[in-house]
Homo-oligomer: A and B are copies of this chain.
Amino acid sequence: MHINKFVIPEIIFGKNALDQAGEACLRLGAKKVLIVSDKGVANAGWLDHVIEICRNSGLPFATFTDITPNPKDTEVIKGCSVFVENECDAIIGVGGGSALDVVKAIAILAANGGKISDYEGIDKIEKPLPPMVMIMTTAGSGSEVSQFSIIVDTERKRKMTIVSKTLVPDIAIIDPYTLVTKDSALTATTGMDVLTHAIEAYVSIAATPLTDVQAKNALALVSNYLRPSVASKTNMEAKEAMAMASLQAGLAFSNAILGAAHAISHAIGGRFLLPHGEINAILLPHIMDFNFIAVPKRFTEIAEMMGIDTRGLTQRDAGNAAIHFVKQLSIDIGIPERLNEVQFSEEDIDLISRTALEDACMITNPRDMDLEQVKTILRNVL
C-alpha cells in the first residue's frame, strides 16, 4: 500500500498580506493572542507593525521575544509561562524559523504539558493545539507551512526534531515586503536552506506528485532569483520570487520530509549553534553526490529545473552539473565551502554522526547511510 498524505495550512500570500493578521486570528476565534518574535525582527519594526494590527482589530495581546537563533528548550518554557500567565488562547509568530518553531513548541506545552523533549520524534502530540497564525519574515525555513519544529535540547546539546500534522499552523501569512529588512548574509543562508528543502524533498523516498510540483517550482525560482535577492534589499521581483520559493519548498518538504543534509545539519547545529542555512549549504553538494546513485533520473530533472541543458548528457554528467550549480551558487553569494569557524575533535565527529543517524530526517534519505559514511562527509566539510 502506497498512500500519500498532504497537509498544508490556509495560505495568504502577497504584498501587504501581513495586514490580514488580526482578521486571521479573530476568524480562528482568538480572544487574546500571544505575539512571538525575536529581537532582530522586532528591531526591524515588524513586531510593532503586528502589534498595531492587533490593536486596530480590537484583539488583546501579550508579547514574547526572548528567542535566539537555534532556539532553546529553556526559551520555550519561558514563552509558555507568558502564554499561560496572560491567559492567551492563540499565538501569532512573526519571524524566521526560530520564532515560528518556538510558537509551535509553546503551543505543544500549553496544550499538552510536560517537557518539550517528551514530544521529540514523530506523532507524539496528543491534545489539539491552540490556533496558530504564522507570519514568515525570512524566505527560508518553511516553518510557516510545515509540520516540523526544531528545538535545541540544552542539556543534551542537540536539536530535537518534532514532527506532527498538528504542528501545521492554521494560517500562514507570507508578505514579500517583510524580506526587504534582511541583510545579504541572512538572505544568502536562508535562501540556500530553501534550495536544500527543495532538493531533499524532491529526492525523498516520501516524495509524491503533489510534493514534486512544489519542489520543482521552488528549485527553478531559487536558481533564478537567489543571486539577485542577495544583491539587493529592494529588488521586489526577486523578494517575491524567493518568498514563493520558500513557501513552495516548505509545502514540499513538510509532506515529503527531508534527508541526510538536514539530519547532519541538525546534529551539527545542535552541538555548535551555527547558522542552519549555512551548514545546509556546505553539506548539500556532498549529500547530492552521495545520493546520486539512489535516484539518478531525479538528478537529471533537478539539473533541468536549474536551467541546465541536459540533452546529450549522461545521467552522471547531468547530476554533476547540478552539484556544480549548487557549489557555484554558494560561491557567488559568499558562503564558505567548509565549516571553518569551529574546530571539530574526533569525539565531536563521532557524536555528531551518531546523532545524525537518529534524526527523523534521515529516514527519508534516498540512499542508506551508515556511521562511517556520515563521518566521511563530515570530514569533507571541516
Contacts and interface: CB of A to CB of B under 8 A. Distances in A.
A4 to B, nearest CB: 4
A91 interface: no
B10 A10 contact: no
Given A214-B213, A248-B210, A14 B8 contact: no
Contacts of A4: 11-14
A5 B10 contact: yes
A209 B209 CA distance: 17
A23 B213 CA distance: 28
A20 interface: yes
A242 to B, nearest CB: 12
B5 A12 contact: yes
A213 B214 CA distance: 7
A1 B13 contact: no
Interface residues of A, number: 28
Contact of A12 (B3, B11, B209, B213): B3
Interface string A332-351: 00000000000000000000
Contacts of A14: 1-4
A17 interface: yes
A213 to B, nearest CB: 4
A7 interface: yes
Interface in A1-43: 1-8, 10-17, 20
A233 B6 CA distance: 27
Nearest to A240: B209
Contacts of A297: none
A16 B8 CA distance: 22
Nearest to A241: B209
A207 interface: no
Nearest to A5: B12
A279 interface: no
Contacts of A208: 13
B13 A3 contact: yes
Interface string A230-258: 00000000000000100110000000000
Q: Most chain-B Cβ atoms within 10 A of its Cβ — which of A1, A165, A209, A216?
A: A209
Interface string A99-131: 000000000000000000000000000000000
Contacts of A320: none
A224 interface: no
Contacts of A6: 8, 10-11, 13
Give 4 nearest A-B pairs by CB, closest first.
A3-B14, A6-B11, A4-B13, A213-B213
Given A7-B10, A210-B247, A213-B214, 20 more contacts: A1-B16, A2-B15, A3-B13, A3-B14, A3-B20, A4-B13, A5-B10, A5-B12, A6-B8, A6-B11, A6-B13, A8-B8, A10-B165, A13-B208, A209-B244, A209-B248, A213-B213, A213-B216, A213-B217, A213-B248
23 contacts: A1-B14, A1-B16, A2-B15, A3-B12, A3-B13, A3-B14, A3-B20, A4-B11, A4-B12, A4-B13, A4-B14, A5-B12, A7-B11, A11-B210, A13-B208, A13-B210, A209-B217, A209-B244, A210-B244, A210-B247, A213-B214, A213-B216, A213-B248
